[in-house]
Chains A and B, each alone.
Chain A
Amino acid sequence: MDILANLALGFSVALSPFTLFLAVCGCFLGTIIGALPGLGPSNGVAILIPITFTLGLDATSALVLMTSVYYGAMYGGRISSILLNIPGDEPALMTTLDGYPMAKQGRAGDALVLSGVASFVGALLATVGLMFLAPTLARVAFYFGPAEYFALYLLAFCTLGGMASNNQAKAALAACMGLGIAMIGVDSSSGLPRLTGGNLHLFDGIDFLVAIVGLFAIAEVFFFIESHGKGSSIGVKLDKVRIPWKDIMSTKWTMLRASGVGFIAGILPGAGASLGSFLAYMSEKSVAGEKGGFGTGVPKGVAAPEAGNNSAAGGALVPMLTLGVPGSGTTAVLLALLMTLNITPGPTLFTERADVVWGLIASLLIANVVLLLMNVPMVKIFVKILSVPAWVLLPGVTMISFVGIYSLSGSYFDLLLMVGFGVLGYILRKLDVPTVPVILGILLGGNMEDALRRAMTLSDGDPTYLFSSPIAIGLWVAAIAGFVAPMFLRNILKKPQAVTD
């Protein structure tokens, strides 16, 4: 059994007392980050990256810490969805549909525990799926040349733009913004600066962390100034928390199905957890039919999106680790973390850095168990943390972001750039332009261009080389279909709107 041997290796890396301690810290921190409205997983992980970096942790420890934060934030997102009707991030939107009505019926405790168990099932199954699928996909990825990689990056942007946004042109424009920003800096092959306008600060390029923290965390401050922090106080009371065995047993098949759906959605490059929870919810809704009462606060409606969401979060790690193409905003941030730690994801990762990969998988399993143990008895503590008022929380987040980015280079320029990205993020989100493609563009722009250049050099500038293999053609077709199809499906697959009071 190859997998068991590998897993043993992983646990030998990840089970030291220190890494366990980090996993517990990360899970706790992550749950808080996910639970606080306005601070999602991408945000939280992005702010913490520079700080982890300056702490001087080694690659495995840093990875364990950040993946625990990542999974923790996925768990935490449901708390504010259920109690406040405010999704902490986009994938948690589906949980509000049944979670909030259920909480209003006085079953907030049940909903929280049930969704915690559903998250556990989803994440566990996805991690198991990751163990089996990722090595196989890594072997296929050896057949990928520059033409295939270029098409794959394109696929990521197209599915992201197609599925995750309401307006294709805006999503594509956002991707172009990110890619365009990624081109700034000294060109690796000619050694000459490109598009810097002669500004010395730009010769190094624009760090994606600056952009991520600006677009997500700083932009959030402007939204809170606009709304004066209204709507962030607890509207639903939480009484005794018991374990609702009956609900858990009655939703077991829902959880399993939703996990499967979510995992597949997570694997699609660029689609990620939002699509996972959406598809899981919608498929369970149609399985249950009219009598299922979805949308009125039924346990199945809470379990399905949570299992799907967490399972997609695990599935999104498959393309990220094997191909270096992240499946969601948060995995994009994790990819940034790996690159900062000088680990290049891709097919060779599984053979050359087996300790890192299997250590990561083992730490995911550990984080999952820790989270379940932490979330059921301690849910009241997390609920308490939700009552931190916005006028303390947001300035605090801003200041931590400043310290984090300042610790990257110690330059005022990065800080000013971050504020600029904050303003940009506010305007883009106001205009319904998705910001995740911008991040993905900045992150992948360099690799995408490298793939294109290599393809052009290999073929002596013949553009048909890009469509020369069956894999490449398949990816191009999928990319175009992923971009165009949602235009026609939009009327059929309408996103449900959040419940209003």
Chain B
Amino acid sequence: MASDRIFGLVCLITAVAYIAAATQIQTNPFSGEFLPKLFPLMIGGVAALCSLTIMFRPDPDPNWPAARTWGAMAVAVLVLCIYAVMITPLGFILPTAIAAGILSYQISPNVKPAIAAGVGLSLGLFVLFKFALGLGNIVAYKVPTAAKLWDALTILIPFVGH
């Protein structure tokens, strides 16, 4: 009940924001005043209608995980985000070993197998991609400078990065 009402409300706000953004779409004489806005406005309208329906006719709540699991998932998201920005300056092997190890530990909390999974996956996939599939330009190892590392991390910090 409550989850669906909150979900509906969030979607409704998003839909209204979307409609507002759609009315602000820039146009020029070639495209006409109306056409670039028409379809986004229709989508926003239907979405708002659906959100209202979900708010007023909610389904039963799903089984949400416990607070601890939420924490684990938040850590996983953070790890994946850091991995995403680190793969450019640091290359493939080191970030993959760490990220895969942490994810593995979170799925099954045993330290040694997790480390083995991280290192094994990182090296195994490196060999697979570089030698079997010839994607050496994508998976590589790099020695970064501190400035580059900081540059990459700032991407994740709002208002500081790019």
Q: Could you list which residues of chain A lie within 8 angstroms of chain B, going by C-beta atoms?
A: 51, 54-55, 166-167, 169-170, 172-173, 176-177, 179-180, 183, 187, 189-195, 197, 218, 221-222, 224-226, 228-229, 389-392, 394-396, 398-400, 402-403, 406-407, 410, 412, 415-416, 418-419, 422-423, 426-427, 430-432, 448-449, 452-453, 456-457, 461
Contacts and interface: CB of A to CB of B under 8 A. Distances in A.
Interface in B55-114: 57, 59, 62, 64-65, 69, 72-73, 76-77, 80-81, 83-85, 87-88, 92, 96, 99-101, 103-110, 113-114
Q: Is the interface of A mostly helix, strand, loop or mixed?
A: helix
Interface of B: 3-4, 7, 11, 15, 18, 21-22, 25-28, 30-31, 34-36, 38-40, 43-44, 46-47, 50-51, 53-54, 57, 59, 62, 64-65, 69, 72-73, 76-77, 80-81, 83-85, 87-88, 92, 96, 99-101, 103-110, 113-114, 117-118, 120-122, 125, 129, 133-135, 138-139, 152, 155
A402 B35 contact: no
A430 B87 CA distance: 30
Contacts of B125: 396, 399-400, 403
A392 B36 contact: no
Given A170-B50, A395-B121, A51 B135 contact: yes
Given A180-B44, A228-B107, A431-B7, A194 B59 contact: no
Nearest to A408: B138
22 contacts: A167-B59, A169-B53, A170-B59, A172-B50, A176-B44, A176-B47, A180-B47, A189-B35, A189-B36, A195-B21, A197-B21, A224-B107, A225-B76, A228-B108, A395-B101, A395-B118, A398-B103, A412-B88, A423-B77, A430-B64, A431-B4, A432-B62
A403 B127 CA distance: 13
Contacts of A190: 26-28, 30-31, 36
B100 A398 contact: yes
A419 B28 contact: no
B100 A399 contact: yes
Nearest to A177: B47
B77 A419 contact: yes
Given A190-B31, A403-B138, A461-B34, A392 B117 contact: yes
B54 A170 contact: yes
B36 A173 contact: no
Contacts of B47: 173, 176-177, 180
Contact of B40 (A194, A225, A228, A410): A194
A439 B44 CA distance: 17
Contacts of B34: 461
Contacts of A406: 87, 138
Contacts of B121: 392, 395-396, 399
A393 to B, nearest CB: 9
Given A221-B103, A403-B129, A391 B114 contact: yes
Given A190-B28, A392-B121, A403-B129, A180 B50 contact: no
A335 B125 CA distance: 28
A88 to B, nearest CB: 18
Nearest to A173: B50
A465 B110 CA distance: 64
